[in-house]
Amino acid sequence: PQAPFKFNIINQKLVAVEGEDFTLLTTLSGAEIPEQLFIDISNSQYKMLQQGALTHAYTFKNPRKDIQFRFAADGFFSPLYTLKVLPKPVVMQLQMDLQYPAYLKMKPDSWQNRGDATMPEGTVITWKILTKNTENLSFLIADSVLRIALNQQTAVVSHKAKYSFEYTLVPSHAQLAAHDSLRYQIQVIPDEYPAILVKSDQDTANPSFIFFNGQLQDDYGLRKLVFNYKINDDNFYTKVAIPLQSQLTEQAFFYALDLALVNVKPGDKLSYYFEVWDNDGVNGSKSSKSALQTYKMPTKEELQKAVDSNKEKIKDDLQESKDQLKDIDKSVQDIKKDLFQKKETDWSNKQKLNQLLEKQKNLMEQMEKSKELNEKNNKEENRLSEEEKRLLEKQEKLEKMFEELKNEDILKLLEEIEKSMEKMDKNKLKELLDKFQLKNEELEKELDRTMALFKQLEFEQKLQ
């Protein structure tokens, strides 16, 4: 007998995709409508889920191949239908091979099943893509769509990463176009500009030099460092290459500029800056400059005024040193007298000895400063004019005499006096103080000779 109702499939196509659930929808129409509707698959019946008064649904879970089925209700069956299951085009494996820019000296990398990545600018990426059930593979990168040829379900594509970008893989075949896609992101780290920080200092004892110390930094390495300078209003800067260690990303450097060597004369203005280049092998070396600095050499008049002022100070300091020697000699005599009158050394003797040692040390420091100021003044004097050989010889002799004022024997005696003072050895102290007094007498004579030569040289320089 014919069924008093009719099975009506709502789905337009009975086509599913491999591995993806498919929901079948059907309605019933006719004079008598059954209360329940079943689906028959391979002679096994499953109750369909009622949705509304006349609509029923059944979901095929994770279909892998074509499925034949029919509907059943109240002992009646529909014709046999087939749910066609299309093979799903998929990316089974994704391999990224990374070839970094040569200047980075980084070993190549190979990553499996990893589509997102961060890498240096200029890295060449080669994707090796293994697919299944795929006839066509679209590779969407930036604003371009590449159709990649497949060889035994494998595709290979390369790209040089200069900017951050997203890319999408879309596998497909003739029956199923652009059904699913995989989207990834590549983050590209650009090669940064190098950084430079420079500090300068002029040694007061050696004013013809400017000393520089600086810090250099770059993300991958440095190529060269150059000192640029010009005098007054020259049109071009003179360039001086400074060695650096290119393989280090962070390093310090030192540079001494001899003003005489670059022919800076009194009254000249020196302009200068440093420039450093990185080792960017992708875009070409990028450079950064330090701030432009200037150095104004004093005029001859200013230099002469400073030289004359220094000479007056040296004479005053030498006279002060001589006065200090006389004061020290008086202190020694007082201490010796106390030691002679007392059987044992006491705290007051020790205090006087400490004061004596302090005076002598101050004197030695004062004479050392006079020596340094004289050396500096000689250099300044020579910058002002070419000294005669005779005067230069006297300058050298004077510097030697200043050096001899730093009497090593007196320094050793001071150490011995300190040790004997700790032991409170009265006899030893007397002996050492006698020697100390004699040495200071010799020092006073040397000081007189130094002062005499200094004044003689000053007079002859004025006559020149």
Task: Output 215 or 318, whichever has higher pLDDT.
Answer: 215
Reading phi first (left if > 0) and then psi (alpha if -120 to 50, else beta), residue 389 is in alpha
Q: What is the pLDDT of residue 343?
A: 57
Average of per-residue pLDDT across 18-46: 93
| Residue 11 tokens, joined | 């789905």
Q: What is the pLDDT of residue 393?
A: 64
Cα dihedral 47, 52, 55, 57 sign? negative
Q: What is the pLDDT of residue 344?
A: 59
Residue closest to 444 by CA, chosen among 333, 344, 385, 367: 367
Q: What is the pLDDT of residue 202?
A: 81
Q: How confident is the model at residue 398 (pLDDT cuts 50, 70, 90)?
A: low
Q: Which residues of 190-335 form beta strands (DSSP E)?
A: 195-201, 209-217, 222-231, 238-242, 250-258, 269-278, 287-289, 293-296
Taking each helix axis from N to C end, the angle separating 408-423 and 347-384, rounded to the nearest 10 degrees, works out to 160
Q: Which CATH class is domain 195-296?
A: mainly beta
Distance CA 360, CA 443 (A): 12
Distance CA 227, CA 274 (A): 5
pLDDT over 70 (residue 174): yes
- 168 φ, ψ to 5°? -130, 135
pLDDT in tens, 351-391: 777 888 888 888 888 888 887 777 777 777 776 665 445 56
pLDDT over 80 (residue 119): yes
Burial of 284 (0-12, 13-18, 19+ CB in 10 A): exposed
Q: What is the pLDDT of residue 333?
A: 84
Q: 76 by DSSP, 3-state: which? A: strand
- Bridge partners (DSSP) listed for residue 272: 229, 293
Average of per-residue pLDDT across 127-155: 90
| Contact residues for 441 (Cβ-Cβ < 8 A; gap 6+) | 329
Q: Taking the domain 301-463, which CATH number applies?
A: 1.20.58
Q: Do domains 90-189 and 301-463 have the same CATH topology?
A: no
Q: What is the pLDDT of residue 389?
A: 52
Q: How confident is the model at residue 346 (pLDDT cuts 50, 70, 90)?
A: low
Q: Please state the domain extents for the chain.
A: 5-86, 90-189, 195-296, 301-463
Rounded percentage of the chain residues whose pLDDT exceeds 90: 48
Q: What is the pLDDT of residue 320?
A: 86
pLDDT in tens, 209-239: 899 999 999 999 999 999 999 999 999 999 9
Distance CA 298, CA 193 (A): 37
Distance CA 179, CA 196 (A): 54
pLDDT over 80 (residue 244): yes
Distance CA 119, CA 111 (A): 12
Average of per-residue pLDDT across 53-74: 94
Q: What is the pLDDT of residue 205?
A: 64
| Residue 427 tokens, joined | 């006899």
pLDDT in tens, 260-313: 899 898 889 999 999 999 999 888 999 999 999 999 988 878 877 877 888 888
Average of per-residue pLDDT across 236-261: 93
- Bridge partners (DSSP) listed for residue 199: 213
Domain 5-86 falls under CATH 3.30.70.20: no
pLDDT over 90 (residue 322): no
| Contact residues for 42 (Cβ-Cβ < 8 A; gap 6+) | 68
Q: How far is CA 306 from the centre of its chain?
A: 42
On whether the pTM is more than 0.75, the answer is no
Give the mean pLDDT of the chain. 86
Q: 438 by DSSP, 3-state: which? A: helix
Q: How confident is the model at residue 188 (pLDDT cuts 50, 70, 90)?
A: very high
Q: Taking the domain 90-189, which CATH number applies?
A: 2.70.50.30
pLDDT over 80 (residue 5): yes
- 373 φ, ψ to 5°? -65, -35
| Residue 294 tokens, joined | 């200037």
Average of per-residue pLDDT across 456-463: 74
Average of per-residue pLDDT across 184-195: 95
pLDDT in tens, 435-451: 878 888 877 888 788 77
Contact 294/269 with Cβ under 8 angstroms?
yes
* Amino acid found at 190: P
**Rg of the chain over all Cα atoms, to the nearest angstrom:** 49
231-245, 324-338, 420-434, range with greatest mean pLDDT:
231-245
Question: In sequence order, which ranges of 295-407 are alpha helices (DSSP H)?
Answer: 300-341, 347-384, 389-405
